[in-house]
Structure 1
Amino acid sequence: MSKPQRFSNFRMLLNQPMLLLTILFIFAILIIFIILPLINVFRLGFTGPDGSFSAETFVRMASNPGYQKTFFNTMKLGGLVACISTFVGYIFAFAITRTEMPGKRFFRGIATLPIISPPFVLSLSLIFLFGRLGLVTNKLLNIDSFDVYGLGSLVVVQSVSFFPVAFLTLTGILESIDDSVEDAAYNMGASRWHIFRTVTLPLSLPGIGSALLLVFIQSLEDFSNPAVLAGDYSTLAVEAYRVITGLYDMQGGTILAIILLLPTLTAFAVQRYWISRKSFVTVTGKPTQKRRKLHEPHIVWPLFGACTLVSAVVILLYGTVLAGAFVKTWGVNNTFTLEHFKYVFSMGWDPVKNSMILAAVSAPVSGILGMAIAYLIVRQKFFGKKFMEFSSILTFAIPGTVLGIGYIFTFNQEPLLLTGTAVILVAAFTFRNMPVGIEAGTTTLLQIDRSIEEASTISGAGAGTTFRRITLPLLRQAFFSGLVYSFVRAMTAVSSVIFLISPKWNLSTARIFALFESSQYSGAAAYIVIMIVIILAAISLINLMVNLLFKPKYLKRTIS
């Protein structure tokens, strides 16, 4: 941007003081709650005994054979899960978007279930099924030597947990491919397999690459599943937690968190570069005749069978947790009981209530902030816009463990003393979950004609009024997505808050983790079932509120 353009944009902002204040406010909170904690993480990791800069401890830990093994364990797990999840996600996405397979709504629901469920669900299911007192190993096969802990179980639970991420990414790519491209090849005599191999698959490569990287990041960041199922298979996220809480070595844990941060940031940067550089768009904008999707039985029914098999696994795992919540002691005394639910609602309700309160507060803050940042990035011109865009979505690539450590050091002293309060938890939820809302808002805004907002501006409305009355109603679906994601992730967060909870503000996920550590699995199952019910009810309520609050009632008036 040239100097005259920057000066012109600055003068325009001076004429809109509310817009200028909003930009400055967002810059301030991004620096305080994202950039500063990240700087403090690196500062602690590279500080010597005398307080000066030193890489000695980092080099010593990075060269430690045990921690090197942990690093490669984490990379190996992430690579395996990324490949398997992307493969399964592609099958689901292709079957739902490109074929006339029956039961699409059911399979789509199955593919999104792991996204809205609390952590530990699938890990608990595997323990119930294949643990020492498991239904399969102990009751059906009578095997005493089977070890449910380790890499194999982690690959299973993470693949089931994260294939929805690949599914959602690949669905958008496959839906954007114009049917006429494939029809042209089919009319020329090409087989369906040849068309898929030479047309469909190459055109969906951007989505495959993006899905691989996104799932890889999710696997590296995962704390809850390795904390329960890893056994002797160490991972960086869990090891950093154990070094801090078990060895009381804050700098050592921070260094492990930095080592974890480096590959996640690298994968995130590659993913963003990949998406920005690769363009396989085939939609021309011209009206096209709606064509029949793939209907050949030898294509549809194998895909139907594959989706059914995966769905059966998901239903089995979730059904096992549901059953485990209603027995006295799984594998020992399977008598039906409601004792675990009575305990949650009487003695153990405070953590659930705290999670609901903090999620209810952080979700709208995260949603509105996400829409505001998306609007500024897409619709406004100002100095530092690239910095705002980068820093606001940076937390997607920052592991929760790293964010939690950064918050401990940033907000543990005046003038930013927030440790032990609800504010620090709300801030962690807000800035951790905001990137999804920003991405959804940015994508939607790029599809909205600027003339709609320009009509409001010509009529004399300021930027704030236009955003509130015109843009925000048009962003209703993106806003809903941001709210739901923020609420669900706040209810189910573990790694980002494991260091931030306090006796006054204990959370349901921390309580579940404590029950796991004491092997009270049925009690943990009761908490999980209650959380799933709360999350589903909250999603319905959020949908109702968004529809009532953000109707585009001003749109026709402005256009006319």
Structure 2
Amino acid sequence: MNQRSQRLDIWMPITILIFVIYLVFLAFPLFTLLTKSFFDGTTGAFSLAYFVKFFSKQYYMNALFNSMKVTACVTILSVVIAAPLAYIMSTIKIKGSGTIQILILISSMSAPFIGAYSWILLLGRNGVITNFVKGVLGIPMPDVYGFTGIVLVLTLQLSPLVFMYVSGALKNVDNSLMEAAESMNCTGIRKMWKVLIPLITPTLLAGGMLVFMRALADFGTPMLIGEGYKTIPVLIFTEFISEVGGDDGFAAAISVLVVIFATSIFLLQKYISNRKSFTMSALNPIQPKEKKGLGNIIVHGVVYVYTAIALLPQVYVMYTSFLNTSGRIFVSGYSLNSYRAAFTKIGDSIANTFILAAISISIIVLLAILIAYVTVKRRGVTSNILDVFTMFPYIVPGSILGIALLVTFNHKPLVLSGTAIILIAAFVIRRLPYTIRSSAAVLHQVNDSIEEAAISLGASTMKTFFKITLPMMISGVIAGAILSWISIITELSTSIILYTGSTKTMTVAIYTEVIRGNYGVAAALSTMLTIITVLSLLLFFKLSGKKDITM
């Protein structure tokens, strides 16, 4: 009984402290944003003027419609492309499949706006492919800017997420179900539609939801390749920037509408998934089989072509980083001038990226360990509420969280705007879920009886935690921390709102260099960021012993 009381006494303050952190850096800023949207910036009186302004002007409604159109198209295309690809990779032996899977994952790990920048170089009005097709074949290429370009970039960037989800789900499908369907003459497309799709529907919804949220929140891609095709994140950013020093309530009102919309979609997805969810145990898992003839050539071609197209932007950016440049133009000859310029002109952004990410990861690891333990091993009303808090950053776009933090901590008693602390707080809150989920997944496998045995032998609660529980969950912690690290160093939407000259990160530097037309420096920085990302991902595979990622 005393041991139980001691356990409660130790973990309750920890749980309260975690709640306070979330309340201060997530709940309170979002609440501040909500209140700002309902009060007139000049008079301070309660008003719905901002919402009336949004819904009464076609310009703003068009931005909302554009965002919905983009996110719907990207989500549908990602599922349509990635689900069959995952099925092919899971059921048919593909030469070099292990390498292909890693390359597909790598293609999804860079910042989306780098893909936008790459496709401008390839398919823009003066792009390499555009000039080649026009010069050699005499065929004018379609315009890659606007809606088409945004959908192209985001689909190639985000479809690997669906691929990861579906690949993981197919490993849990018992092949006996497939064989039973075939014995009843249910084969081919009919077998997929009648048997396999219902089995993996929750997974498709989860993967589609992640794609939807990321496409909805993406800021850099429409800013670079949109050319006037304004989406909600771009609208929020431009309205907020134009309102700095004055009335920022309108940007807050748009943000509130986006959060409500995103939350509604998230809850709908959860409701449908829960109704269609069930447990599968693959005693006879699906095994890839060898295919012969024309079918084998076709499936190999599909897999290899998709992988090549997905990786093309990153490969071409690396190539251009070694070209000589003259402003916006790449000229003949190769050199390291772009890298020298990157380190000379904006070397601080490289150091800032590592310092801010390192500090953020340290905090994330500490909090993730404690939160995972509380939510897994101390189930109850409190832990369930905390679990919801940890999921909410998935729903809130980065630019909105950045605005919320800036609006909240831009005045006394706690002024954080313009400091590294506000960036670190944003990174921690937004990227903490990766490490929490990974840590909790391992912790679910740790039997409670192990802890109970240690405590019964006289070990204190905290000694048991540090000596027994923590070493058993450390692999999940490290794996999740690497994913959090990758997502932090490629973060743009939050950084672009919160950075100052002294806290500029590599992603912000790349974005600003592209805008200024310094393509060589942008390519050099992008290459460095990609290499760091790839090395981090390979480290994840090495430490976790996996060849895939589940989020």
Q: TM-score under structure 2 normalisation?
A: 0.90
> Shift of the alpha carbon at 1:471?
2.7
* Equivalence map 1:287-302=2 (5 Å): 288=283, 292-297=287-292, 300-302=296-298
Question: 1:535 and 1:292 mapped to 2: Cα distance?
Answer: 31
* From 20, 26, 30, the counterpart of 1:38: 30
For 1:434-449, list aligned pairs within 5 A: 434-449=432-447
**Which range moves more in the overlay, 265-274 or 107-116?**
265-274
Aligned 8 A contact 1:366 1:430 in 2: yes
Q: In the alignment, what sits opposite 1:166? A: 162
Matches within 5 A, 1:172-183: 172-183=168-179
Question: Which deviations, in whole Å up to 9, do the C-alpha atoms of 1:64-88 show, x marking residues without a partner?
Answer: 1111111010000000000111122
Change (3 A) 1:34 1:474: same
Task: From 48, 62, 85, give the equivalent of 1:92.
Answer: 85
1:322 shift after superposition? 1.1
Deviates more, 1:417-426 or 1:240-249: 240-249
Question: 1:452: how far off?
Answer: 2.8
Deviation at 1:115, TM superposition (A): 3.3
| Aligned partner letter, 1:372 | L
> Aligned partners of 2:300 and 2:448: how far apart in 1?
43
In structure 1, stretches of 5+ residues that fail to align are: 1-7, 548-560
Output one character per residue of 1:262-287: Cα deviation in whole Å (capped at 9) or x when no partner.
22222222233334333232317xxx
1:199-218 correspondence to structure 2 within 5 Å: 199-218=195-214
Partners of 1:534 and 1:52 lie apart in 2 by 50
Contact 1:222–1:237 (8 Å) recurs in 2: yes
Indicate how the Cα distance of structure 1 residues 25 and 546 shifts in structure 2: closer, same or farther if over 3 A, else same: farther
Alignment partner, residue 501 of structure 2: 503
What code does the residue aligned with 2:528 have?
Answer: I
- Displacement, 1:219? 0.4
- Give the superposition deviation at 1:543: 7.5
Determine which of 11, 17, 39 is the counterpart of 1:19: 11
Q: Aligned pair in 2 of structure 1 residues 304, 544: CA closer, same or farther (>3 Å)? A: closer
Deviation at 1:300, TM superposition (A): 5.0
Shift of 1:188: 4.8
Shift of the alpha carbon at 1:257? 2.0
Q: How far does residue 387 in structure 1 lie from its aligned partner after superposition? A: 1.6
Change in 2 beyond 3 A, CA 1:186/1:466? farther
Q: Name the residue aligned to 1:78.
A: 71
Shift in alpha-carbon separation, 1:470–1:303, aligned structure 2, 3 A: farther
Q: 1:283 aligns with which of 262, 271, 281?
A: 281
Residue 45 (structure 1) shift: 1.1
Moved more, 421-430 or 177-186: 177-186
**Farther off after superposition, 324-333 or 498-507:** 324-333
> 1:53 is matched with which residue?
46
Counterpart amino acid of residue 343 in structure 1: A
Contact persistence 2:437–2:480 (CA under 8 A): no
Gaps of 5+ in 2: 546-551
| TM-score normalized with structure 1 length | 0.89
The structure 2 residue matched to 1:389, chosen from 387, 390, 397, is 387
Residue 326 of structure 1, aligned match among 322, 328, 331: 322
Aligned to 1:552: none
Is 2:232 aligned against 1:236? yes
Per-residue deviation at 1:393?
1.4
Q: Which amino acid in the other structure matches residue 339 of structure 1?
A: N
Q: Which amino acid aligns with 1:459?
A: L
**Range moving further from structure 2, 238-247 or 391-400:** 238-247
Partner of residue 548, structure 2: none
Name the CA shift for 1:447/1:233 in 2 (closer, same or farther; >3 Å).
same
What is the aligned-residue identity percentage?
A: 26
Structure 1 residues 247 and 107, CA, compared in 2 at 3 Å: closer, same or farther? same
Question: Structure 2 CA distance, aligned partners of 1:543 and 1:168?
Answer: 14
Shift of 1:435: 1.4
- The offset of 1:342, in angstroms, is 0.4
Letter of the structure 1 residue corresponding to residue 212 of structure 2: F
- Residue pair 2:475, 2:543 contacting (<8 A) in 1 also: no
Which region of structure 1 is more displaced relative to structure 2, 116-125 or 461-470?
Answer: 461-470
Relative distance call for 1:522 and 1:443 in structure 2 (3 A) is: same
Cα offset, 1:42, TM superposition: 0.7
- Residue in structure 2 matched with residue 554 of structure 1 by the alignment: none
SS of aligned partner of 1:334: strand
Q: Contact 1:90–1:167 at 8 Å: present in 2 too?
A: yes
SS at match of 1:495: coil
Backbone CA RMSD of aligned residues: 2.6
Instruction: Work out the CA distance in 1 between the residues paired with 2:85 and 2:160.
Output: 9
Distance (whole Å) between structure 2 residues aligned to residue 123 and residue 234 of structure 1: 15
Q: The residue matched to 1:333 in structure 2 has which SS?
A: strand
Is the CA contact 1:476–1:546 (under 8 Å) kept in the aligned structure 2?
no
Between the aligned partners of 2:407 and 2:286, the Cα distance in structure 1 is 58
Structure 1 residues 159 and 198 mapped into 2: Cα distance closer, same or farther (>3 Å)?
same
How many angstroms apart in 1 are the aligned matches of 2:284 and 2:236? 56
